[in-house]
A and B are shown apart, each in its own frame.
Chain A
């Protein structure tokens, strides 16, 4: 069964450094999402992406964050200058048609980001 993959599984970085988290969505999916989950807390929506542009973003997704689909398969989340509070598990998800059409979102295994 096709699945969403994410790399790396664990990223450790120094505060102030830039990080890029990578995701490969399921190949025929058109909608892509990033979520984060701070340890022991709920999952928080960051951003959704469709047709090479952001379609929705939350208050968390400020100027420090950006997303890109650099080629036909990868979907990346960049954090420009990491802060301690960015430490979390970051999940990528994809769906074929988008939530408003009643579609399933498939989650990747996550990247654990640790900011020191």
Chain B
């Protein structure tokens, strides 16, 4: 039931792009994306409700493929401030909500 994220960890140089994937074995109602820095609370990035919908947040955007039960988070021209652990959160019918396994992103100068 817990969505699986890939990759588990990624190291980028400033300015490079990254894609983080989130895959669920159950039909999805919505997908949420969060970023958490070490020792801090998760920060909500965005929610996607409809299949195929893409949303953006500065240079961070996401897509949601309802049919494939997948979502991807796109980080373009990464900045040092993007470093952290990214979690997807998936909402299913029956009011169930699960966080993904997490992806550690490190941006280096």
Contact = CB atoms under 8 A, between A and B. Distances in A.
Interface of A: 35, 42-45, 48, 55-56, 58, 91, 99-100, 102-110
B60 to A, nearest CB: 14
A56 B30 CA distance: 15
Contact of A45 (B36, B97, B101, B102): B97
Interface residues on chain B, size class? 20 to 34
Given A91-B41, A91-B42, A109-B41, A43 B32 contact: no
B47 A103 contact: yes
A45 B47 contact: no
Nearest to A47: B97
A43 B34 CA distance: 10
Given A99-B91, A100-B29, A43 B42 contact: yes
B49 interface: yes
Contacts of B101: 42
A104 B16 CA distance: 28
Contacts of B43: 107
A99 B41 contact: no
A55 B91 CA distance: 13
Nearest to A95: B44
Nearest to A45: B97
B96 interface: yes
Given A42-B87, A43-B87, A105 B97 contact: no
A56 B41 contact: no
Given A99-B30, A99-B32, A102-B49, A107 B42 contact: yes
Contact of B41 (A45, A104, A107): A107
Contact of B95 (A35, A56, A106, A107): A56
